[in-house]
Amino acid sequence: RRPVPGVFNAGSRNGMSKAAFVAEVRSALGLGPGDVLAPVKKPDVPRPDDMRMDSGLLERTFNLKMPELSDEIRKALAMGGY
């Protein structure tokens, strides 16, 4: 095998906002919307609205299919005994 030059992002096939991530965890744990409180305060430092990274180049170059984030959340929670 020859080395493949480049910079590759490795992550899930799809991304989600922090709020969607919390909602997914809440759902996987069988909790309702009132069981988890969202922060009211915005961060003190500026941040981009969307910080997801694209793993498409990695998938295409190495013929991979990265996992779905929601599937990985459920697997991680199952491994922790939740």
Residue 49 identity: D
Give the pLDDT mean for 57-78: 93
Taking alpha carbons only, the member of 21, 49, 46 closest to residue 36 is 21
Distance, in Å, from the CA atom of 70 to the CA atom of 57, rounded to the nearest integer, reads 21
Cα–Cα distance measured from residue 82 to residue 74, given in angstroms and rounded to the nearest whole number: 9
Backbone torsions φ then ψ of 57, nearest 5 degrees = -65, -40
Query: What number is the average pLDDT over the span 52-61?
Result: 92
pLDDT per position as a tens digit, 7-52: 999 989 888 888 888 889 999 988 988 887 666 777 788 888 788 8
pLDDT of residue 33: 81
The pLDDT of residue 20:
87
